[in-house]
Amino acid sequence: MDRPDRYLLLYHPLQAKAQLKTIRHHLEESTIGYVEVATSGDFYADLQGLQSYIPNTKRVIVLGGDGTLNLAANAFAYSDVEVALVPCGSGNDFARQWRCSQQQWIGSALTRPSSSIDLGKVNERYFINVAGVGYDAAVVSASQNKRGRWAHLSYAWQGIKMLYRYAPSLLQFSTTEAQEQRLLMMCLANGRYFGGGMCLAPEANLSDGQLSCVQIGAAPFWRQIQALILSYFAAHTRLKQVAIHPVSQLDVHTANIGIEADGEYVGTTPALFCVQRDALHFVIPL
């Protein structure tokens, strides 16, 4: 059977207007067929709709941020569909690990070949960048209806308020052995950046078969402020309340702690986090 050659342009309806116009132009010049799909905000309805395109689609170009990319990762994991990104959302943390111009992102999305990368999975939800429990999920939950040009300010403000209010949780979890620690948050990272530019997991690698487990322990308020500020420079790793180590699977047994994945609130614990090897054909930009 011939491989399909149609492209799918996946975009947020309130974003990406200029980028969408540019990509349309390039595809039409190259006589490449394409369809356009706007996200609706209903994750499961969008997921089902996107999966119906799998048999006839060669490549999906995601025009959006981490949330739209998360939707694409869930729709096209373990399929033959290639996923490319043109970052233009309110949160573009996954894209920060490459220092590319908008023109380079567009050029790569149109012509560069794909490579297999790992995904993470928390319960039944894939994530491409970072998922976590605790403080970060509480911030996401408080910010989840804030979109548009002020989204970053809203997230930062909620982060400061929540850092003052949020009580670290006593988490029971296990990798190779059972552990119990009082943590502000615990994140499993496939990508390096999170939370609007924090280099949370400096050693994270998209194709090593591991997730970076980042644990930030209970500490006085000023110490936590210090950790968050230093994380923008990847300097938080030297602090006593911060521990980072690679894992392939981690179970959180404590119940009713919030979970976020790629900046989306996805439920509460208990949860199983695990790496998914070579799960997505992704276009690494120039």
Could you check whether 7-118 and 125-277 share the same CATH topology?
Answer: no
Q: Is 96 within 8 Å of 87 (Cβ atoms)?
A: no
Instruction: Specify the higher pLDDT residue, 14 or 204.
Output: 204
| Spans of all domains in the chain | 7-118, 125-277
- CA 264 vs CA 19, 47, 89, 105, 234: distances in Å: 24, 15, 13, 24, 23
- The confidence score (pLDDT) of residue 1 equals 44
**What digits encode the pLDDT tens for the residues 87-105?**
987 779 999 999 999 999 9
- Interval 26-32 mean pLDDT: 94
- Interval 163-173 mean pLDDT: 90
- Interval 173-178 mean pLDDT: 93
Question: Could you count the other beta carbons within 10 Å of the beta carbon of residue 25?
Answer: 10
pLDDT, averaged across the chain: 92
- The confidence score (pLDDT) of residue 166 equals 87
What CA–CA distance (Å, rounded) separates 194 from 66?
A: 10
184: nearest Cα among 202, 164, 203: 164
Inform me whether the pLDDT recorded for 284 exceeds 80.
yes
- CA 210 vs CA 20, 73, 109, 111, 246: distances in Å: 34, 18, 26, 29, 6
- ω before 270 within 30° of 0 (cis)? yes
Instruction: Specify the higher pLDDT residue, 191 or 15.
Output: 191
- Interval 209-229 mean pLDDT: 93
Alpha helices in 32-189 (DSSP H): 43-51, 66-76, 102-111, 135-143, 151-165
- The confidence score (pLDDT) of residue 4 equals 72
- The confidence score (pLDDT) of residue 82 equals 98
Report the DSSP pairing between strands 169-174 and 115-122: unpaired
E-strand spans in the chain?
Answer: 7-11, 34-38, 59-64, 82-87, 115-122, 125-127, 130-134, 169-174, 178-189, 193-194, 198-199, 211-217, 242-247, 249-252, 258-261, 264-268, 271-282
Inform me whether the pLDDT recorded for 159 exceeds 80.
no
What percent of the chain lies above the pLDDT cut of 70?
94
263: nearest Cα among 101, 97, 109, 145: 145
Fold (topology level) of 7-118: Rossmann fold (3.40.50)
Torsion sign across C-alpha atoms 64, 65, 67, 69: positive
Instruction: Specify the higher pLDDT residue, 25 or 162.
Output: 25
- The confidence score (pLDDT) of residue 91 equals 74
CATH of 125-277, one of 2.60.200.40, 3.20.20.370, 3.40.50.300, 2.40.30.40: 2.60.200.40
Instruction: Specify the higher pLDDT residue, 284 or 147.
Output: 284
Inform me whether the pLDDT recorded for 196 exceeds 70.
yes
137-146, 249-258, 275-284 — which is least confidently predicted? Answer: 137-146
- CA 123 vs CA 41, 59, 136: distances in Å: 21, 27, 18
**What digits encode the pLDDT tens for the residues 51-71?**
999 999 999 999 999 999 999
Instruction: Specify the higher pLDDT residue, 127 or 15.
Output: 127
123: nearest Cα among 278, 277, 266: 266
- The confidence score (pLDDT) of residue 153 equals 55
- The confidence score (pLDDT) of residue 20 equals 93
**What digits encode the pLDDT tens for the residues 223-256?**
988 998 999 999 999 999 999 999 999 999 999 9
